[in-house]
Amino acid sequence: MKTENKILQLLKSNGAMTAKALAKELEVTTMGIRQHMLHLEQEKDVEYQDKKAIRGRPTRYWSLTKKSDRHFPDGHETLNLQIIESVKQVFGEEGLEKLIHQREQETFNNYSKRLDGINDIKDRLNVLAQIRSDEGYMATIEEKEGVFWLLENHCSICAAASSCLNFCRSELHLFQKLFEDLATVKREEHIMQGARRCAYKIICQNK
């Protein structure tokens, strides 16, 4: 993978980073990273914000722009704006709702097969994160003070969700059904509301 692609992946997963932090992660020189950042900025894939430091000069943090989305998977090709609009025109809002429900049920069935027999929440989440990453969501799991987080750094159905937020509602409902006997699931960060990622908080029912 090219260095600039690795930079984009790191910024997508971690959020804003300094050139020094990127250089450490990629084991290259800071000067080399700055050259790559200049090119990525010219391509309008990244932007920066200078934050005041306790001492000395401000620290420059780099982050992705909206245009950078073109470098990341955009799966679920059937869920594009044209098809959604066609469904609305032919079948109305009720027809679109049926489509969303059908997709949710099929996804639930597929995920359930992969998760069958896995009752430990952490193990279950790790498998789910792998499934979601395979679908382009760049999912990771974190655990903080006994609470689990499913973090999705990319939305592979963003175009569909932009047109109809019920797709996002369906995603949340899907996760809630997958963990209904083990934990409660809440969405705390949402890409469609301007957040960098979608973050789902998973709290064990015995907590």
| pLDDT tens digits for range 59-77 | 999 999 988 988 886 655 5
Task: Taking residues 10-35, report their average pLDDT.
Answer: 94
Specify the long-range contacts of residues 83-88, CB closer than 8 Å, at least 24 apart. Answer: 84/160, 84/163, 84/164, 85/163
Task: Give the model's pLDDT for residue 183.
Answer: 94
**Assigned fold of 81-204:** Muramoyl-pentapeptide Carboxypeptidase; domain 2 (3.30.1380)
Task: Determine contact, residues 160/104, Cβ cutoff 8 Å.
Answer: no
Task: Give the model's pLDDT for residue 22.
Answer: 96
CATH 1.10.10.10 assigned to 3-71: yes
Whether the per-residue pLDDT at 35 is higher than 70: the answer is yes
Task: Give the model's pLDDT for residue 43.
Answer: 93
Residue 148 burial by Cβ neighbours in a 10 Å radius (0-12, 13-18, 19+): buried
pTM: 0.69
- Residue ranges of domains in the chain: 3-71, 81-204
What is the chain's mean pLDDT, rounded? Answer: 88
Task: Give the model's pLDDT for residue 94.
Answer: 87
Task: Taking residues 159-178, report their average pLDDT.
Answer: 82
